[in-house]
Structure 1
Amino acid sequence: MSTEPPLSDPPLAGPPISDAEAEAAAEKAAMKEQRGLLGRTAARGALITVGAQGVKIVLQVVGVVVLARLLTPGDYGLVAMVTAIIGVAEIFRDFGLSSAAVQAKTLSKAQRDNLFWINTGAGLFFTVLVFFTAPLIARIYGHEELVGLTHVLALVFVLNGMGTQYRADLNRRLQFTKLATVEIAAPAISLVVAIVAALEGAGYWALAVQQITMAVVLLVGNAASARWIPRLPRRAPMRDLFTFGWQLAGSLFVGYLGNNIDSLTIGTRFGSEALGLYNRAFQLLMTPLGQLRAPSTKVALPVLSRLREDREASNAYLQRGQAALGLTLVVGLGVIIGAAEPVTSIFLGRQWLSVEPILRLLAVAGVFQSLAYVGLWIYLSHGLTKELLQYTMITVTIKVACILVGSLWGVTGVAWGYAIAPALAWPLSFWWLSRKAPVDVGPLFVGAGRIMVLTAFVAGGTFGACELTAEWGRWVQLPAGALAAAVVYALAFALVPMFRRDITGVLQIVGKGMRKNR
């Protein structure tokens, strides 16, 4: 009997594959591989930047807690008066060219060098301009001491101008670890310098020295990390970069006016003491919140710029990004809304308790600002700076109207106006983008709705726990409120499939970021 295996029919050959089909298949495979690589890079970048911002938040809170006990509301008010005005120059010092460099499809060394000299020249120009307009700033507020303070703070412009393209270059190359290291070192060193100066009785000068030190450390650290020396300017195509930058700078300028109309209104109408109180609430909450949101753009902009032609992947990234912001920052703001009283008492001291309603209203504003933040990623990654300018003009008009009307009821009325404005404006952003960008905004609206519902329950649970434990004091109220918020969050995960899916998606991003790229 034969032991040879039976013969089988040869496999049927499929139809021949054309060169075009093979090329399309290879392109599809390459796109899939790029998606995976970008996904892992973005997740790791997000994890690194969020971790770094967590450290910065701790430093920010420590600075607020310590310096609030060493300085007076008047000290903070004087510095806030200067920064509210000269901050306008900081926008035009950058010209939007840092974001232009990050989102550009290609950027030559010549273009990069030219951008360095443009930003440096602009920084020097505004340093000189602000230096000589110091008497005018002092006259606006009626405080002669603002002259010397403005002279010193003017140096920040040239220092930041020199560092702009180093930071943009690291961002463009997705060097998030190096960026994070510098951005932790700068506030840490500057805070130590400010505390030492305050202990020596420097008063408001401690805050000025803090800003100068921060700018110096950022410049030196980013330049050392980038490892390139700019060559002399030379001919290179710059028109597209300028177009993007100018339109973005216009949006930032209009947005800055809207964001600082509260400080300008309080400073001119109610004086430095009132502005100092408002500024402490703002520094305790809104500054750290901005520090947490801004790095998300640092990660999202280069990634979404690469996914511009891939609508499916881009929409998926936006929805995950919104969930990541909403289920962390926005829900966290719900805790602040519910526990504003013990937070104010613990972090600022009982002498600052009048800040409590302001802090709560600023947290409400932060909720709606964060929900709208995903829209900024879309505008920038698709190069829609003209459309962003148009939208910003509308939202700033709403904000100015709300704040000016609110100021009729004092500083707390200003905070009410600041909170109501983004609540009215954020839906306009998604509606405007639905007409201007190739993105699906419907899921973003739905996702935002789920986030707001969860935040409302967290705020209610936190507030209820704080009220029930009020007789035991602030050190019991805050942990009780935080525990109640955690219980609400856990119940949402366990009982509501929609929240469970969103939270699981965010955890997957974290897990992907913790795995090394292969």
Structure 2
Amino acid sequence: MGAASPARSGSKVFGWLGWAGADAIGRILLLTVSTAILSRILSPQDFGVSALVLTIVTVMAVFVGAPFEEALAQRRSLRRSHVEAALAASWAAGLVVIALSVPLGFALAAAYARPEMAGLLPVAALTILFSGHGDITTALARRRRRFNDVAFANLTAHVIGLGMAVAIAFAGAGVWALIGVRLFVSIARAVLLQVKFGPLILPRWSTQRMRELARFAGLSLIELLADNLTYLVFNNVVGAVYGLTTLGYVNMAIRLVEPVRGAVIAIAHNLAFSFFGRESRDGARLAETAATVSTRTVYLIAPMFFGLAAVTPALVPMVAGPGWDEAIHVAAFLALGAAVGLPARMIFTSLSARARPEFGLVSSLLGFSGSLVVLFVGVPFGPIAVGVSRLAGDAVQAAFAIALPDRLAGWPRLARFWSFLRPLALAAVMGLCVAVAVRWLEAAVGDLLTLAIVVPAGALLYLVLLRTFARDSFDVFLAAGAPAFLRRGANT
């Protein structure tokens, strides 16, 4: 009985990732198309300015909503008063940081000699109140496993927000269009989620409820802060040392990789957390399930990002147009970092389901420190150091996940190491073959046709490698809903 459950859990996660992936793919396509349009209207300096402003807003948003999402999602007993108290605390924190954004905007404008930053930052900070409401509503969806509603809200909000941003870019609004993306998407998402989960959630303070949420929310806050400070430091170091134009190149690379990375993190964490939560009272069962789910997840995540790294020489020019070559290598390293670091997060998700989020926090702090060291050491190498530093930070987090004591992770370190190494090696082989094909085809047939050839070819090659060297995971993938012709081929 115990052995069957983890296998079924791996199949369920594949199934969940299937429909949730449709939402992620839709948002990624929308962001890619909008980036392709905006990069031809706006300058690299505009992208650099927006990167600085939006990164600061992202750090500010850590104090509003997001820490309570985890605290609400993991509680065994949740009352409406918990939700109302969390929203009251979020709005109080949001009003404070919005007020602080006004003097900070003027300071930013003076530091970078860009007067428009004085207005951009306070307007962008308004997204905090809406994103906080959306995060708290998302916690309710996770508890009820209504991931389809979250997917609908996310995708529809991006259609609305990106459409409005492109429209104001054509109207000549310049960098305001890039700020508008975040603002419009946050507003639309909050409204759509609230409609799905009516009646209206209103803030109502409760000291008792806040005490009950405080420990988990506090640890989640620090972990999120550590994660987002990485981007803040990156952008400010690059902007200060290399200038806003170079920062624009880095921001273009981030815009191509981070939507995929963010979607995968959200989907994998939310779905796995929901499943782990059901078994949180049985440590042995949870550890066994975490081992299975973590291993299966690597087989899905690793090829996605190794493939993305391999196609960046064709993808960046196709999306951004001419003049953005500096972003290619940065994007490749960002994608490789995601391939190495994201699968290990499943271990921290399983610990978080047992109300032990401090290990995710330590992981984020260690990764942040590793990234800083490489970033400063690599300054002479130019923008590529930003990508390498992120790869280093992700590698540190993965190493920490593998090094955790057996009693915490529930499975031996050596088994953890090999369970991550094999899928990473298979994905690396596929990525190397795709990279060679891109280099050979790009000059002959152009970027678009190159991508049309190598993406399905890479996916097919990975399936062949999976069937040859990891047949158990290949069978689970088929059972989770692969096309019928693949299942027939596997049985012959």
TM-score, normalised relative to structure 1: 0.86
- Kept in 2: contact 1:127–1:158 (CA 8 A): no
Distance 1:332 1:309, change over 3 A: same
Aligned pair partner of 2:384 in 393, 406, 412: 412
- Kept in 1: contact 2:90–2:132 (CA 8 A): yes
Quote how far apart the aligned CAs of 1:80 are: 0.5
Partners of 1:452 and 1:404 in 2: how far apart? 28
Count, aligned residues: 481
Cα RMSD (Å)? 2.7
Quote how far apart the aligned CAs of 1:461 are: 0.9
Rg larger in structure: 1
Aligned pair partner of 1:233 in 188, 205, 212: 205
Distance 1:281 1:32, change over 3 A: closer
Aligned to 1:360: 332
Distance 1:222 1:289, change over 3 A: same
Three-state SS of the structure 2 residue aligned to 1:352 is: coil
Amino acid in the other structure paired with 2:184: T
Aligned pair partner of 1:50 in 21, 42, 66: 21
Of 372-381 and 175-184, deviating more is 372-381
Aligned pair partner of 2:452 in 479, 485, 489: 479
- Kept in 1: contact 2:348–2:357 (CA 8 A): no
Three-state SS of the structure 2 residue aligned to 1:339 is: helix
Aligned pair partner of 1:331 in 279, 288, 303: 303
Amino acid in the other structure paired with 2:432: G
Three-state SS of the structure 2 residue aligned to 1:383 is: coil
Aligned pair partner of 1:124 in 95, 102, 105: 95
Say whether 1:277 aligns with 2:237: no
Partners of 1:239 and 1:434 in 2: how far apart? 32
Aligned pair partner of 2:189 in 218, 235, 238: 218
- Kept in 2: contact 1:119–1:164 (CA 8 A): no
Distance 1:433 1:209, change over 3 A: farther
Of 208-217 and 461-470, deviating more is 461-470
Say whether 1:348 aligns with 2:320: yes
Give per-residue Cα distances to partners, 1:172-231, cap 9 Å, x unaligned: 111111111111111110111011111111110111222211111111111111112346
Aligned pair partner of 1:63 in 31, 34, 39: 34
Aligned pair partner of 1:385 in 357, 371, 374: 357
Quote how far apart the aligned CAs of 1:78 are: 0.7
Amino acid in the other structure paired with 1:208: I
Distance 1:121 1:422, change over 3 A: same
Partners of 2:11 and 2:425 in 1: how far apart? 30
Amino acid in the other structure paired with 2:129: V
Amino acid in the other structure paired with 1:485: G
Partners of 2:172 and 2:16 in 1: how far apart? 41
Of 117-126 and 434-443, deviating more is 434-443
- Kept in 1: contact 2:11–2:479 (CA 8 A): no
Partners of 2:25 and 2:318 in 1: how far apart? 19
Aligned pair partner of 2:112 in 129, 137, 141: 141
Three-state SS of the structure 1 residue aligned to 2:333 is: helix
Partners of 1:41 and 1:490 in 2: how far apart? 19
Partners of 1:66 and 1:421 in 2: how far apart? 32
Amino acid in the other structure paired with 2:461: V
Partners of 1:470 and 1:393 in 2: how far apart? 40
Matches within 5 A, 1:432-443: 432=404, 434=406, 436-438=408-410, 442-443=414-415
Of 102-111 and 501-510, deviating more is 501-510
Quote how far apart the aligned CAs of 1:277 are: 0.8
Say whether 1:99 aligns with 2:104: no
Of 66-75 and 147-156, deviating more is 66-75
Say whether 1:427 aligns with 2:391: no
Quote how far apart the aligned CAs of 1:280 are: 0.5
Amino acid in the other structure paired with 2:95: L
Quote how far apart the aligned CAs of 1:118 are: 1.5
Quote how far apart the aligned CAs of 1:375 are: 2.6
Distance 1:274 1:489, change over 3 A: same
Of 216-225 and 443-452, deviating more is 443-452
Partners of 1:350 and 1:481 in 2: how far apart? 22
Distance 1:147 1:235, change over 3 A: closer
Give per-residue Cα distances to partners, 1:295-348, cap 9 Å, x unaligned: 211111122122113345434533443344323332022222322211122222
Give per-residue Cα distances to partners, 1:434-477, cap 9 Å, x unaligned: 35454555443222111111111111211222233344132443
Quote how far apart the aligned CAs of 1:486 are: 3.5
Distance 1:255 1:470, change over 3 A: closer
Amino acid in the other structure paired with 1:306: R
Amino acid in the other structure paired with 2:28: I
Partners of 1:36 and 1:493 in 2: how far apart? 17
Matches within 5 A, 1:29-40: none
Identity of aligned residues (%): 19
Quote how far apart the aligned CAs of 1:155 are: 0.8
- Kept in 2: contact 1:123–1:160 (CA 8 A): no
Partners of 1:236 and 1:36 in 2: how far apart? 41
Say whether 1:162 aligns with 2:129: no
Aligned to 1:171: 142
Q: Can you give the 5+ residue segments of structure 2 that lack an aligned partner in the other structure?
A: 483-492
Distance 1:387 1:463, change over 3 A: closer
Amino acid in the other structure paired with 1:140: A
Give per-residue Cα distances to partners, 1:111-157, cap 9 Å, x unaligned: 22211211122222222221332112223333222101112112111
Give per-residue Cα distances to partners, 1:389-436, cap 9 Å, x unaligned: 333322221111111111222111222222233224411123126354
Give per-residue Cα distances to partners, 1:3-62, cap 9 Å, x unaligned: xxxxxxxxxxxxxxxxxxxxxxxxx9xx99999998887665433322211211111211
Partners of 1:350 and 1:318 in 2: how far apart? 45
Three-state SS of the structure 1 residue aligned to 2:280 is: coil
Partners of 1:363 and 1:234 in 2: how far apart? 43
Quote how far apart the aligned CAs of 1:94 are: 2.8
Say whether 1:493 aligns with 2:452: no
Partners of 1:508 and 1:388 in 2: how far apart? 32
Aligned to 1:267: 239
Aligned pair partner of 2:266 in 269, 291, 294: 294
Partners of 2:233 and 2:402 in 1: how far apart? 24
Give per-residue Cα distances to partners, 1:348-398, cap 9 Å, x unaligned: 223222322122222211211223221331232121123333333222211
Matches within 5 A, 1:302-313: 302-311=274-283, 313=285
Partners of 2:7 and 2:476 in 1: how far apart? 16
Amino acid in the other structure paired with 1:279: N
Aligned to 1:453: 425
